[in-house]
Amino acid sequence: MYVTWWTNNTVNNNDEVLFRASNDGGVTFEDKINLSNSSKTGFYQEQR
């Protein structure tokens, strides 16, 4: 299962496109991957 989403919930108000993958049908997910060209610096880590 793959999930992508957009957010601008960052310290620098950068628009970010994020991606996560699950190999067990969505029970657990791998770490988030920032697909945007902007820096990862200042990215707000969401609560799981």
Confidence of residue 42 (pLDDT cuts 50, 70, 90): very low
The answer to whether the pTM exceeds 0.85 is: no
Residue 47: predicted pLDDT: 42
pLDDT at 40 over 60: no
**Domain boundaries, given as residue ranges, for the chain:** 1-48
Question: How confident is the model over 9-34, as pLDDT tens digits?
Answer: 767 778 889 999 999 999 999 999 98
Q: For residue 26, what is the DSSP state?
A: T
Nearest in space to 48 (alpha carbons), one of 24, 33, 29, 23: 29
Residue 38: predicted pLDDT: 62
Higher pLDDT pick, 46 / 18: 18
